[in-house]
Structure 1
Amino acid sequence: MVAQHDYRKVWLYFLYYWVVFGIGTYFGQYFPEEWRPTASAVLFGLMMISLFVRGFNRAGPIISHLYAILIGLVSYGLFESFVIDFGEDVFYRVVLLGILVFVFFGCIGYFLLRDVTHWGKYLFIALLVVIFASLLNFFINLPYMTLILTIAGLVLYILFTIYDFNRMKNKKFSPREMGFNLFLNLLIIIKRLLRLYRYINNRR
């Protein structure tokens, strides 16, 4: 049975993982450029194991911290290059937009939808499609596939946000797992918006 204080724990974990991510991002400036592909590969490996290995909990205490730190390390390059190309003002506007998108669709999931917790299996399949399409595009680099995958990933994590907020409404969650999931949802929404902004402006 979910108690009222479990909702507070969700947001404490949510903020906590942002702090861990922030530490990883800070040290990302000292992380050698040639090591970033390795860190990305480890991160991808952890994600794939968490998807396919039963009992592997990516929101567990050790793995979730490793996730947040590695994501911070590899995200520093994206943030730095975006600020250099477009300036801090644009960067923070896109971040703010990401937060607003997260809150807006989270409210839809919590207040307007009754029970969409059955979405989980469909979102899982969609996630696999995006992952394998991204791998294919890495090797083939099809025209406009980067834009399609960026938009698809953005829409997917917006749907994950709706789904997770709805799970909280229906009390089908654990605090650590939900806090970590919401952290990832917001982070990936922000990163997808940054990539979308870059793609659109580079095409002008």
Structure 2
Amino acid sequence: MSKTAHNATHTHQKSKAQSNAYGKVWLFFIYYWLIFGIGCYLGQFLPMQWRQPLSIGLLVLVLITTFVNRARKYGLIISHIYAIVIGLLSYATFTYYLQSLGTDVFYKNVILAIAAFIAFGLIGYFLIDNAAGMGKYLFVTFIALIVASLVGIFIHNSIFHTIITVVGLLLFLLYTIYDFNRMKRGHFKPREMGFNLFINLLNIIKDVLYLADRVRK
């Protein structure tokens, strides 16, 4: 086999492997949405007094898995726990927004959030060569956002929560650019990336709905 033919075969195999990896990412993405959907359905049976402890527990879990290396070994289990618990907590949130915004405005904002997710993903994949340098800045902002969210549970101030939401929306839009860019460069594991994209889109949707609700008031 000539060198040119060998290179062509290698390129084809690499392209096929990359396509398979992309397919797995989107399967995991859908899978985590299904897990979330189950949690959301069960959320209608969640007593209100459980919501705050679960919210605090979820944020603490995220902090632990972010800083404790040993906890990351249980990423598969933790991602399922996160998807289920965030689903349980989201039932009341989505029900509120449906009632407050109305069905038409609610779904228009969900579509807007999905469109933003796709647009920023395409920017990260096609327009940015290497977004690796963003990672450390996004990480620091993410930690600050978690801490602010923990504080926000005990502070009932609309301006404070609006600031957190705006920062969160910008953060997860930038994370979408970053993650799609990682996919382009091949620096990802399918399950982890599928979960990351699920988290990005979910947070973008919730932040857009929150801001839409604030504007209407």
TM norm. shorter chain > 0.5: yes
Matched residue, 1:186: 201
Aligned identity (percent) is 49
- Per-residue Cα deviation, 1:58-95 (whole angstroms, up to 9, x for no partner): 88221111110000000111101111112111111111
Between the aligned partners of 1:133 and 1:173, the Cα distance in structure 2 is 29
Q: CA, structure 1 residues 23+143, in 2 after alignment: closer, same or farther (shift >3 Å)?
A: closer
8 Å contact from structure 1 (residues 58, 64) kept in 2: no
Between the aligned partners of 1:60 and 1:138, the Cα distance in structure 2 is 26
Matched residue, 2:44: 29
Q: CA, structure 1 residues 58+99, in 2 after alignment: closer, same or farther (shift >3 Å)?
A: farther
More helix by share: 2
Give unmatched runs, 5+ long, in structure 1.
none
Q: CA, structure 1 residues 10+59, in 2 after alignment: closer, same or farther (shift >3 Å)?
A: farther
Matched residue, 2:149: 134
Give unmatched runs, 5+ long, in structure 2.
1-13
How large is the Cα RMSD of the aligned pairs? 1.8
Report the number of matched residues.
Answer: 202
Query: C-alpha displacement at 1:152, in angstroms?
Result: 0.6
Q: Partner of 2:167: helix, strand, or coil?
A: helix
1:11 and 2:36 matched? no
- Per-residue Cα deviation, 1:131-176 (whole angstroms, up to 9, x for no partner): 2233344445556222211111100000000000000000000000
Query: C-alpha displacement at 1:194, in angstroms?
Result: 0.8
Q: CA, structure 1 residues 134+65, in 2 after alignment: closer, same or farther (shift >3 Å)?
A: closer
Between the aligned partners of 1:140 and 1:174, the Cα distance in structure 2 is 38
Larger Rg: 2
8 Å contact from structure 2 (residues 56, 150) kept in 1: no
1:153 and 2:168 matched? yes
Compute the TM-score of the two structures, normalised by the length of structure 2.
0.87
Compute the TM-score of the two structures, normalised by the length of structure 1.
0.93
8 Å contact from structure 2 (residues 35, 80) kept in 1: yes
1:98 and 2:113 matched? yes
Residues 22-171 of structure 1: matches in 2 within 5 Å? 22-57=37-72, 60-141=75-156, 144-171=159-186
